[in-house]
Chains A and B, each alone.
Chain A
Amino acid sequence: MLYSLFHVDKTLMAVPITTILEIVRPSMFYSISGSPEVIDGLINFRGKVVTVINTGLAFGGNKVETTEESRVYIFKKNSELKVADGTGLDSELSPDNIGLHVDNIENVINIEIDELQAVPANMAHPFYKFVVRKGDDFIIILRPAEILNLNKDRDLLS
């Protein structure tokens, strides 16, 4: 299955291609007063209103700044999901389209199901789903629903 790789801080992460609607350059974020800091703002994507989350802040790290290389992942909402892949990732999306602002994106790679390994207990994190070793790199496969579903898990954002 294909995964799109990206960096947040120095960590290499991945999300399944099938969960992505499109990747765009960060344009104007409309900030909303009173929203948590972790939300960069709203963007207009093909007529849809999409909330963009600053992935760096969501992980408690450095804020992702808007640069020449930073990108926004727009994820599908549950109703747009079509393909089931057997990893159980797809079914965990949010009811709305949501964006993730990341430092930069890398290429697309294919990861077989048997390469997916459970996250070691000592680095368990509610956002992490699997760990994959590719050569010398470790790739963390995110659990998109956890980040995207902000309403469910407010205390994670504080």
Chain B
Amino acid sequence: MTISTEIKFNIYNPVITYEHRAAYDMVLSQLHEIFPICNQGKCKALEVTDDPQKQKQINDLMEKVEFISDSLITITKVFFDQLYRAKESSSQSIAHSMAKITIDMIERNLLERTCDVRWWALEKSFWECVEISNLLNSGAAKKSTVKITPDSAVNSDKKLIESSLANLVTIACTRLEDIRSSYTLYRDLVLVDMSGKVIATANIDRREKLLGFNISEEVWFKEALKTIDGTEYFVQDFSKSKLEENGSLIYSTAIRDKGDEKGEVIGVLGVLFDFQGECQIVLNDSLPKDKNGETLDGWFSFFTNNQGRVICSSDQDFIPPGLVPHVPKSHRTLRNKGDFKFSTAVFCGINCLIVSHKSEGFDDYDGLEWTSHLVLPVASMFERHIENKEFGITPKELMNSHLIPEINRQTFQEIQRNTDKGDIQLISINGIVLATDLGKSGKSFMPIFDQITKTGSSTTGKMELLLSEMSSDMLNQTLKALVNLSKQAIELIDRNLFERAADVRWWSSDFVFCEALKNTETENYDAVSKRLAVINSSYSMYRDLVIVDSNGRIVANSKLENRDKLKGVSVSDQSWFRQGMQISKSVQFGVQDVCNSDLESEKTSLIYSGGILENGQRVGKALGVLGIFFDWEALAHPILEGCVPRIDNNIVEGGASFFTNTDHQIIASTDEEYFTTGNQVAIPTANLTLKEGESTAGMFLANGKKYIIGSTKTKGYREYRGLEWTAHVVRSID
């Protein structure tokens, strides 16, 4: 065994608990008592026998005992050090994954915003409105420079334009409102014409104040004008805008002539994301709470931007936005994507562990180079877990399980090797053999060997107790971490599906669809297919989009390669279509739980539906249904992969995560070998019968292995209620 020369947690380290210090003191004082006993033995050897060989044998034995006691003292120190190191590294891993997941959650959300803004800019009512406003501006400009046309003609022209603009503004505002009510994540959406004047807004309360407001100096506006085509957008990192009193995170893109992606720039669409609201939810959710739902003392979570300034924090008083937080500089200046750092420092008067993780972005989305920080009291990393749920696992099994790092088990074995089943036992028996040989005079050796045996077994006993205490701590901590991961998995899925639900509701209101479905005689759906193709190209998460008429026949789809297969197919008996036809309000939507659908070649499908209402109104009769075939596997897998338990960024043995539906069937999984999609799972009933938003931990036997599991049932996200799924995160322990 290699004994580390550097002891990080020596017994004087303040994080060592009182109980451990007491145990350590006792073990050490017992071991130190051995030395005088050995000396006594050596002296006795001279007393009891004249045989030099016997004297040497006794001396050898005593020296061996001294040597063993000495190495036991060293190993005991190492054992304590390793015990605390193991707890430290497990706590760090858990804290790191928490910091990573918080920033991931925000970044995923922001990615959705970039898709949204690009797509909305193509809306007909927006470019029509901007076009007229520009015309009016240029008319006014002409009038002031060249006075050729008689004033009256200009005036009547202008009046006509003005009245049509007023009309268009009302329509545009209504559409913006529709967006805002479909996607509740925005504080406002604004349409700006070429002169930098706000001409329409989504927030009715602020309309009076904002219409006509000039924002031509703002970066998001200027940058949006520079975009080359409809695939480009601009994000203005968290900063002040004239539009709001609070700091804003603004997404913008150009409005183009006739809604053509390659058309000339005629205006700008800006969306004001409710970043603080969203961040507060994410940041606070990640922190542990007491019984009353208050965040525990000393726990903080916050984000900094690439200048190292706070953009949002779980505690605005201690860590105010806009300022540089009191964390080591290296934490604020992480360079590369995915970089992370651990430090211990005093934060708000408490000795804390600070974990920082720089955002990684997704696929082709780079993110905004933000860093997520998590601060927790060092003491919490080493605290004992008092509550001990009964899982039917013996302390012995637990101690030999994978929960205990290999190195700790080795050290314990090393101690065992030296003590009760090892060298001390051997010495003690050989001592008895010797003493017996010496006959009567040898009897005085008996108490010495007795003492040596006692010390040996008491040392192992103490160590065993510590290791067993550590394994139960590790079990509790790991279970908590698994529960947290399952919470995150279900939350990420819910957030994502919320977006899908918002998408389908908004798209169903597109005028192209209701126009085409209204004129049933012409049966001309080319424009519809083209429109669907445009939508699908802005988003990466849909396999296909289809329009179904009121008879349940698919009349158009977005992907050319699926057209022959899908066109004319009747879906009248399918759940998503039926739900869609019953929709009478544009805020409703339908969804068919994950299943194996004939419409797609993939094993699992998740289909959302929206009702296409008469005349594109907010309330009305459904003329047909928009169905969106969601790329379920592509969404679920990265989320599940991200929630598989890891230590030092490596997946732990037997680690897996999966979702189950109400039939306890697996609908997506990271481990197709042992937890196969489509199969029913044999996990504890408590984990399958959770109520909304509830979590639990457990243990079960499967595939010949013992697993521990954390599960969380969906609680939905905002107005999205979820599909009653449960997320499970497991790892094997033997």
Residues in chain A within 8 A of chain B (CB atoms): 2, 4, 17-18, 20-25, 68-69, 71, 82-83, 104-105, 107-108
Contacts and interface: CB of A to CB of B under 8 A. Distances in A.
B430 A23 contact: yes
Given A71-B426, A83-B439, A104 B433 contact: no
B32 interface: no
Contacts of B694: none
Contacts of A107: 425, 429
Given A23-B429, A105-B426, A108-B428, 8 more contacts: A4-B432, A22-B430, A23-B430, A25-B426, A68-B422, A83-B436, A105-B425, A108-B432
Contacts of A23: 426, 429-430, 433
Interface in B413-432: 417, 421-422, 425-426, 428-430, 432
Interface string B432-473: 110011010000000000000000000000000000000000
A71 B430 CA distance: 12
Contacts of B428: 108
A21 B433 CA distance: 7
Contacts of B421: 69, 104
A25 B424 CA distance: 12
A122 B429 CA distance: 33
Question: Which applies to chain A's interface (DSSP): helix, strand, loop or mixed?
Answer: strand
Contacts of A24: 426
Contacts of B432: 2, 4, 17, 108
Interface of B: 57, 417, 421-422, 425-426, 428-430, 432-433, 436-437, 439
A20 B422 CA distance: 18
20 contacts: A4-B433, A17-B433, A18-B437, A22-B433, A23-B426, A23-B429, A23-B430, A24-B426, A25-B426, A68-B422, A82-B437, A83-B437, A83-B439, A104-B421, A105-B426, A105-B429, A107-B425, A108-B428, A108-B429, A108-B432
Nearest to A18: B436
Contacts of B433: 4, 17, 20-23
A85 to B, nearest CB: 10
Counting chain A CB atoms within 10 Å of each CB, the highest count among B417, B433, B437, B439 belongs to B433
B411 to A, nearest CB: 15
B126 to A, nearest CB: 78
B575 to A, nearest CB: 62
A108 B422 CA distance: 14
Contacts of A17: 432-433, 436
A2 to B, nearest CB: 6
A75 B432 CA distance: 14
Contacts of B429: 4, 23, 105, 107-108
B432 to A, nearest CB: 5
A4 B432 CA distance: 10
Contacts of A25: 426
B659 to A, nearest CB: 45
Counting chain B CB atoms within 10 Å of each CB, the highest count among A2, A24, A83, A104 belongs to A2
A146 B425 CA distance: 27
Contacts of B426: 23-25, 71, 105
B512 to A, nearest CB: 78
A74 to B, nearest CB: 10
Contacts of A105: 425-426, 429
